[in-house]
């Protein structure tokens, strides 16, 4: 690693241990501020959902906030906020997480709350029904009644992939949600919310020995259960173009999304880093390749973006995943002209390479974003937890900026060569009533 890369590595020690029930624990002490963050990452996300239960991972995230054995409904929120803290949870492709950030003296309170719902969330008919209604309303607001609501995150995977795990609607169909039962929810909890299927990561102003004692006190009694195998979500690389056209009655202008399969984010991490920087080089900032070409020079686009991973967070996904380029363009511009320009710019990088100074600008911006995220105790703790769960090494989160700084122009060039126009998945969106 270069001297510059070494300077970018976060110098936060990481301690780890495993409880008898299988819970993996990562501690990241930082005594510089009187704040702690507690996060629990469960190895269950949208890709774990069985057929007929689409949207269940996200629905269950909602259920986990409806009380538990010793915490009445709404009491979790009241106890965290009364201590001066914040809390939340989120559902991703490969995990679901729950977290709090609080003053350091409230650490035990957060541990008690997370342990209580790990042991026994309140899965009742009333809670299930009202949270199904909440999720359905989210879908109405965020997808059904919003222009481009499903574009491309819900629609492009159906074009790009083959397996149910990778193609289904992770937000959930109303039919699947409404037919869910308490038994379904109880079975989902029993299967995926076992202590051995989770990572507990605690960061901030903590004493390692005392924190270990508290973790043992609150999480140790949670009963061990069998841990499900990690689902196989990888797929063979595509060998042909796949293309679908959808209509959007609320859209004001057409759009197109192009998706290419990329190297395995875990098994081929160094190769994958070249793809991450390629996406940044293509679309981030006024000097990026596609911003210059589509917006400023050709004036064939209204907006463009490129990113890796379903939610644009490339370091918390497993295989298989995409580099996606999406472009919104005027109705008078043929989609073929837009896609041809995208392919030309990628091909130019593949043939001519990337000037070192251009790559360095992209690396500096990406490194700055990672380091800024790591400034907060909560941001750092969440990154450590995700790295531990997905990559098996919490320390990787502290090394990312340095690893990106070490990526060479040749790696980015190779990544561009991997974006073959002959294997692209293309999703064309037309406003309802638009041209045929």
Q: What is the pLDDT of residues 161-217, one digit of tens each?
A: 999 999 999 999 999 999 999 999 999 999 999 999 999 999 999 999 999 999 999
Angle at 399 between CA 393 and CA 402, to 5 degrees: 155
320-333 as b/e, with b when 16 or more CB fall inside 10 Å? bbbbbbbbbbeeeb
Q: Is 209 exposed, middle or buried (0-12, 13-18, 19+ CB in 10 A)?
A: exposed
Higher pLDDT, 333 or 373: 333
Residue pair 157/166 in contact by the 8 Å Cβ criterion: yes
Q: Give Rg (Cα) of the chain.
A: 23
User: Per-residue DSSP letters for 120-154?
Assistant: -B---HHHHHHHHHHHHHHHIIIIITSTTTTTTTT
Return the structure tokens found at 309. Answer: 């991973």
Residue 2, pLDDT above cutoff 60: no
Model's pTM, two decimal places?
Answer: 0.95
Which pLDDT tens digit goes with each residue over 207-229? 999 999 999 999 999 999 999 99
Least confident of 120-134, 261-275, 288-302, 366-380: 366-380
d(CA 426, CA 151): 12
Task: Identify the pLDDT of residue 436.
Answer: 38
Residue 3, pLDDT above cutoff 50: no
153 Cβ contact list (under 8 Å, min separation 6): 310, 311
433 C-beta neighbours (distance < 10 Å), count: 7
Residue pair 316/384 in contact by the 8 Å Cβ criterion: no
d(CA 304, CA 126): 44
Which pLDDT tens digit goes with each residue over 51-94? 999 999 999 999 999 999 999 999 999 999 999 999 999 999 99
Return the structure tokens found at 128. Answer: 């299930």
d(CA 29, CA 211): 10
Residue 18, pLDDT above cutoff 80: yes
Residue 12, pLDDT above cutoff 60: yes
Assign 433 a pLDDT band (cuts: 50, 70, 90): low
83 Cβ contact list (under 8 Å, min separation 6): 102, 103, 106, 109
* φ and ψ at residue 244, rounded to 5 degrees: -140, 145
Which domains does the chain show, CATH number per domain?
A: 3-219 (3.30.830.10), 242-431 (3.30.830.10)
From residue 287, alpha-carbon distances to 235, 292, 326 in Å are: 35, 6, 17
Average pLDDT over residues 279-308: 95
Task: Identify the pLDDT of residue 222.
Answer: 98
331 Cβ contact list (under 8 Å, min separation 6): 253, 254, 431, 434, 435
Task: Identify the pLDDT of residue 374.
Answer: 85
232 Cβ contact list (under 8 Å, min separation 6): none
From residue 205, alpha-carbon distances to 40, 106, 145, 326 in Å are: 18, 11, 44, 42
Say how far residue 47 (Cα) sits from the centre of its chain: 12
Assign 432 a pLDDT band (cuts: 50, 70, 90): confident
- Closest by CA to 433, choosing from 249, 283, 262, 271, is 249
Higher pLDDT, 108 or 434: 108
3-state secondary structure of 200: strand
Q: What's the chain's average pLDDT? A: 94
Residue pair 115/222 in contact by the 8 Å Cβ criterion: yes
For the chain, percent of residues with pLDDT exceeding 90: 91
From residue 166, alpha-carbon distances to 128, 158, 159, 177, 240 in Å are: 26, 8, 10, 19, 18
Which pLDDT tens digit goes with each residue over 403-429? 999 999 999 999 999 999 999 999 999
d(CA 280, CA 258): 15
Return the structure tokens found at 133. Answer: 């209604």
Task: Identify the pLDDT of residue 13.
Answer: 82
247 C-beta neighbours (distance < 10 Å), count: 12
């Amino acid at each position: 690693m270069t001297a510059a890369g070494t300077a970018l590595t976060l110098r936060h020690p990481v301690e780890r241990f495993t409880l008898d029930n299988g819970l993996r624990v990562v501690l990241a002490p930082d005594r510089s501020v009187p704040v702690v963050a507690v996060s629990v990452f469960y190895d269950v996300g949208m890709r774990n959902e069985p057929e007929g239960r689409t949207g269940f991972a996200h629905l269950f995230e909602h259920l986990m906030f409806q009380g538990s054995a010793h915490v009445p409904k709404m009491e979790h929120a009241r106890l965290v906020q009364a201590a001066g803290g914040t809390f939340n949870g989120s559902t991703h492709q490969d995990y679901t997480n729950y977290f709090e950030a609080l003053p350091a003296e409230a650490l035990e309170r957060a541990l008690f709350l997370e342990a209580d719902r790990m042991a026994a969330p309140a899965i009742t008919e009333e809670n299930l029904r009202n949270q199904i209604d909440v999720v359905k309303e989210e879908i109405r607001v965020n997808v059904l009644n919003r222009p481009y609501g499903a574009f491309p995150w819900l629609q492009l995977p159906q074009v790009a992939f083959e397996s149910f795990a990778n193609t289904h609607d992770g937000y959930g169909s109303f039919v699947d949600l409404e037919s869910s039962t308490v038994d379904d929810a109880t079975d989902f909890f029993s299967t995926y919310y076992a202590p051995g299927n989770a990572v507990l990561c605690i960061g901030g102003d903590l004493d390692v020995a005392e924190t270990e004692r508290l973790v043992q006190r609150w999480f140790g009694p949670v009963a061990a259960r069998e841990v499900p195998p990690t689902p196989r979500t990888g797929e063979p690389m595509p060998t042909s173009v796949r293309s679908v056209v959808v209509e959007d009655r609320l859209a004001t202008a057409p759009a197109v999304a192009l998706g290419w399969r990329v190297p395995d984010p875990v098994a081929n991490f160094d190769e994958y880093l070249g793809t991450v920087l390629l996406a940044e080089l293509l679309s981030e900032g006024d000097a990026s390749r596609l911003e210059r070409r589509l917006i400023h020079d050709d004036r064939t686009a209204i907006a463009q973006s490129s990113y890796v991973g379903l939610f644009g967070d490339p370091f918390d996904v497993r295989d298989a995943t995409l580099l996606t380029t999406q472009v919104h363009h005027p109705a008078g511009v043929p989609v073929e002209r837009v896609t041809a320009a995208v392919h030309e710019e990628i091909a130019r990088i593949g043939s001519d390479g990337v000037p070192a100074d251009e790559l360095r600008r992209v690396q500096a911006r990406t490194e700055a974003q990672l380091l800024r995220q790591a400034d907060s105790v909560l941001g750092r703790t969440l990154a450590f937890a995700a790295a531990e769960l997905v990559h098996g090494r919490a320390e990787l989160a502290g090394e990312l900026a340095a690893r990106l700084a070490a990526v060479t122009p040749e790696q980015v060039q190779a990544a561009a060569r991997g974006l073959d126009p002959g294997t692209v998945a293309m999703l064309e969106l037309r406003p309802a009533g638009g041209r045929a």
